[in-house]
Amino acid sequence: MSVAKVLPDAGTISSLAHIPDHRWAGHAVQLYTHDKFLIDVLCRFVGGALAAGDVAIIAATRAHRDELERQLQAHGVDTAKAAMQGRYLALDAQATLSKFMIDGALDEVRFKDTISTVLNQTKHAVQGQDCKIAVFGELVALLWTQGKSREAIRVEQLWNELATEYSFSLLCAYPTNGFEDDGHLEPFLKMCKEHSGVFPNESFLTISSEDERLRSIAELQQKTDLLERELALRESEARFRLVVEAVQDYAIFMLDAQGNVSTWNIGAERIKGYKAEEIIGKHFSTFYPEEDLLNGKPAWELVVAEKEGRFEDEGWRLRKDGSRFWANVIITALKDGTGKLIGFAKVTRDFTERIKVQNELKKEIAERRAAQEKLHLSEQSLRQLSLHLLRTQDEERRRIGRDLHDSLGQYLAVLKMKLDSVAGSLGGNSNEISQDIAECIRLAEDSIKEVRTVSYLLYPPMLEEMGLKSAIPWYLDGFSSRSGIATTLEVRTDFGRIERDSELALFRILQESLTNVHRHSESPVAHVRLWKKDGSCILEIEDKGKGINPAVLEQAGTDWMGAIGVGVRGMNERMRQLGGKLELISDGTGTRVVATIPTK
């Protein structure tokens, strides 16, 4: 019997060539609306295989198996004989399904074992014959009608995995009325992607005009593109929804146009304490403290968000247990294509810890500022005390100097005159007594000179009467004679007087600097320069000694409070009190002290 005698002809179904043939290798799916069309397709698919001496396996419902066998026999196909030869195996789809669906779940190992057993059985029956295997199954269609779309897709994938081990042509069939809901779109497209061929239902095959067929195909392609884009959008929205629902650091939820909560994520539950079933449907003002409710803040926020598109704020909010937390809130208005408000998206973040840290930081800053202010006041008091001590010291030096000059100096002068008178009275009568008196006279003269020098050093009257220009040369002469250190002075002839306190401060710096040169520098020379520049008077003392150890100089710092000594600190304090500054520069070739003080 030839294949042509058992296939339905064009008079039965228009454009029959567009339905699958068992010789078409692959995994095809046939869509159908009426069972009659499915039976006609199966007659061509299964009957063609049996008529050609190949193998046919079907796993179908009882109604479809009985009607298919009746139609095949009507077309002269002896199914009983084919079954005895092992070339025709008809299985009940539901019974087959129960072998690998355990407690409603798909057991993949049992599926492969079940189908492999059937395939091996037919291969053994036709051993040695070059036969093709045609398989028709309604397993996926049954799973779909049971609402198990995920398992249905996985079964299609398992069929493809088996096709890598066995050679067979597989035809599935889906009734189109099972894919009418919007929720069916995504799984339907996924199932179609698992097939190498998708054949349309009978409505397409009734189109006689090739132009109409092409137009129909173009329309289907356009619809498919739209559906795929819609599916991609839905998948994107689903992924976004999963992300939002999984976020724990932010409370992300939706409000309807009246401000009632319509969605709730894990972050909202963690931050606010409400479970979804406890808060959905309630107004978002639930989260606001009483003072905000009294002034209408929740409603005002929605008005601003609707008007400006978004609203952002920070403030106290309430948890379910009544405790407060500091929240950063962003409300975004959601509108449709016509601009109509459809709701709000609200994002809340708990900034309580951050505000605590900020408050603690502000408190610490305030405490530090208070401590600094207290320290500043203490420094001011210390400097005032220091200035008072320096002035007291200068006044005491002046008093002691005058006392030495006016009192002790006069007494020594009178003593010398008395000794001169006694020496004149003795004449040459006693050489021994004359010599003693002469020695006393010399000692009195030396005492007078020393008292005069000490009194001048304590407070030189020349400084007060004639100024620095005259007092410095006098002091340098005495310093050189006492220390043996050669000194030089550079000063302009037109250098005039400056303020009394400034002259005294610079003179004390000169004294202290030269004393340090004598005691510590081992320098044979000391150079002194005095000049005025840009409204300031500058005194410079430079030696050529061993200098100051860099570590000691660094330790001293800019405030001269280190290990250099009390003398230098006093020098620096004198400059500070008068608005001046003191610089100390030292290296291995000597030391230079520069005192700068403003002049009026």
Return all residues near 241 (Cβ < 8 A) that are at least 6 apart.
none
Check: CB of residue 47 under 8 Å from CB of residue 72: yes
563 sits in the region (left: phi over 0; alpha: psi -120 to 50; else beta) called alpha
Query: What mean pLDDT comes out for the span 472-497?
Result: 89
Question: Rounded distance, CA 479 to CA 234, Å?
Answer: 100
- For 300, the 3-state DSSP assignment is helix
Choice among 20-29, 237-246, 591-600 with the minimum mean pLDDT: 237-246
pLDDT one-digit tens code per residue, 426-446: 665 567 677 777 777 777 777
pLDDT at 223 over 70: no
* pLDDT confidence tier of residue 31, bands split at 50, 70 and 90: confident
Q: How far is CA 388 from CA 146, 241, 385, 394, in A?
A: 103, 77, 5, 10
Query: What mean pLDDT comes out for the span 540-551?
Result: 86
Name the CATH superfamily housing domain 465-598.
Answer: Histidine kinase-like ATPase, C-terminal domain (3.30.565.10)
pLDDT at 281 over 90: yes
Q: What pLDDT does residue 388 have?
A: 60
pLDDT at 333 over 50: yes
Check: CB of residue 320 under 8 Å from CB of residue 276: no
CA-closest candidate to residue 514, choices 563, 478, 464, 469? 478
Question: Rounded distance, CA 267 to CA 250, Å?
Answer: 5
Query: What mean pLDDT comes out for the span 556-583?
Result: 67
Question: Rounded distance, CA 176 to CA 331, Å?
Answer: 45
Q: What percent of the chain has pLDDT over 90?
A: 27
CA torsion sign, 115 to 117 to 122 to 127?
Answer: positive
Question: Rounded distance, CA 336 to CA 43, Å?
Answer: 53
Q: What pLDDT does residue 88 have?
A: 92
Strands (E), 364-518: 486-491
Q: What pLDDT does residue 234 have?
A: 57
- Own/partner contacts of 224-230, CB < 8 Å, gap of 24 or more, are 227/185, 227/189, 228/189, 230/185
Check: CB of residue 16 under 8 Å from CB of residue 207: no
Fold of 3-206: Rossmann fold (3.40.50)
Choice among 145-159, 230-244, 362-376 with the minimum mean pLDDT: 230-244
pLDDT at 275 over 80: yes
Please determine, looking at this structure, whether the domain spanning 247-350 carries the CATH number 3.30.390.50: no
Q: How far is CA 558 from CA 22, 509, 555, 561, in A?
A: 101, 17, 9, 8
CA-closest candidate to residue 98, choices 135, 28, 146, 168? 146
Q: How open is the CA angle 564-566-571, to the nearest 5 degrees?
A: 90
pLDDT at 106 over 60: yes
Q: What are phi and psi of 274, to 5 degrees?
A: -90, 140
* pLDDT confidence tier of residue 564, bands split at 50, 70 and 90: very low
CA torsion sign, 518 to 520 to 524 to 530?
Answer: negative
pLDDT one-digit tens code per residue, 123-149: 887 776 778 889 999 998 899 888 888
Q: What pLDDT does residue 357 have?
A: 85
Q: How open is the CA angle 432-435-441, to the nearest 5 degrees?
A: 145
Q: What pLDDT does residue 383 have?
A: 65
Choice among 137-151, 256-270, 439-453, 576-590 with the minimum mean pLDDT: 439-453
Question: Rounded distance, CA 569 to CA 115, Å?
Answer: 102
Half-sphere exposure of 128 (CA within 13 A, CB side): 0
Query: What mean pLDDT comes out for the span 59-81?
Result: 91
Query: What mean pLDDT comes out for the span 39-53?
Result: 88
Q: What pLDDT does residue 44 have?
A: 87
pLDDT at 597 over 90: yes
Q: What pLDDT does residue 396 have?
A: 63
* pLDDT confidence tier of residue 562, bands split at 50, 70 and 90: very low
CA torsion sign, 41 to 141 to 112 to 114?
Answer: negative
Better pLDDT: 419 or 86: 86
Residue 61: Cβ-neighbour burial (10 angstroms; 0-12, 13-18, 19+): middle
The number of angstroms, rounded, from the C-alpha of 570 to the middle of its chain's C-alpha atoms is 52
Choice among 71-85, 351-365, 518-532, 542-556 with the minimum mean pLDDT: 542-556
Beta-carbon count within 10 A of 579 CB: 11
Question: Rounded distance, CA 420 to CA 304, Å?
Answer: 110
Query: What mean pLDDT comes out for the span 326-347?
Result: 90
What residue segments make up the domains of the chain, in order of their start? Answer: 3-206, 247-350, 353-459, 465-598
Half-sphere exposure of 304 (CA within 13 A, CB side): 12
DSSP string of 63-109, one letter each residue: HHHHHHHHHHHHTT--HHHHHHTTSEEEEEHHHHHHHHEETTEE-HH
pLDDT at 161 over 60: yes
Query: What mean pLDDT comes out for the span 215-237?
Result: 57
Strands (E), 412-485: none
Q: What pLDDT does residue 390 have?
A: 63
* pLDDT confidence tier of residue 508, bands split at 50, 70 and 90: confident
Q: How far is CA 204 from CA 37, 185, 223, 364, 533, in A?
A: 12, 20, 15, 81, 107
- Residue recorded with tokens 């009426």: 34
Q: What pLDDT does residue 370 have?
A: 85
Q: What pLDDT does residue 185 have?
A: 65
CA-closest candidate to residue 487, choices 444, 423, 530, 535? 530
* pTM, rounded to two decimals: 0.40
Averaging pLDDT over each range in 186-200, 232-246, 260-274, which range is the top one?
Answer: 260-274
Strands (E), 150-288: 169-175, 197-199, 250-255
pLDDT one-digit tens code per residue, 77-88: 888 998 898 889
Query: What mean pLDDT comes out for the span 543-560?
Result: 69
Q: SS3 breakdown of the chain: % helix, strand, coil, rounded to 5?
A: 55, 20, 25
Do the domains 465-598 and 247-350 match in fold? no
- For 590, the 3-state DSSP assignment is strand
Q: What pLDDT does residue 16 have?
A: 41
Better pLDDT: 393 or 111: 111
pLDDT at 176 over 50: yes
Average pLDDT, the chain: 80
pLDDT one-digit tens code per residue, 369-385: 888 888 877 776 666 66
Q: How far is CA 123 from CA 87, 114, 119, 237, 352, in A?
A: 9, 15, 6, 48, 73
The number of angstroms, rounded, from the C-alpha of 246 to the middle of its chain's C-alpha atoms is 21
